[in-house]
Amino acid sequence: MPVKTAVNNYLGQAGCKRMNCAQAVISAFQEKYELDEDTVELFRAYGGGRAPGGVCGAFYAVKYILEHCGDAKRIAELEQYFSGCAGSLKCNDIRQARTLSCVECVEKCSEYLAAL
């Protein structure tokens, strides 16, 4: 269910407020990982290639959640999974290569986190 919620958050569908890629993922997993509204608001700054290092905002959101819940050992696995899907971790590279759309990045990152 959080995967669909993340996609709906990104697209602004099914009664969800339209969010950027990073917020869409953080918000979808907010309850499960006990993240507050301030964290969701903070991630407003990380969409559209503005996450640290220019990484995809959806990827950055999942990385943040893994760090937040003390599961840092999975970050390398996440990096390998997402770069395998998208061809890169960097937003601009993904957009230029057109390997995944932004909504597909939200979906893939959410799928990874939901599977844990």
Res 9: pLDDT = 98
pLDDT tens digits, one per residue of 11-20: 999 999 999 9
pLDDT tens digits, one per residue of 55-109: 999 999 999 999 999 888 899 999 999 999 999 999 999 999 999 999 999 999 9
pTM of the full structure: 0.97
Q: What mean pLDDT do residues 20-27 have? A: 98
Res 23: pLDDT = 98
**Tally of domains in the chain:** 1
Res 72: pLDDT = 82
Q: How far, in Å, CA of 11 to CA of 97, rounded?
A: 22
Q: C-alpha 14: how far from its chain's center?
A: 19
Domain that holds residue 35: 2-114
Q: How far, in Å, CA of 11 to CA of 76, rounded?
A: 28
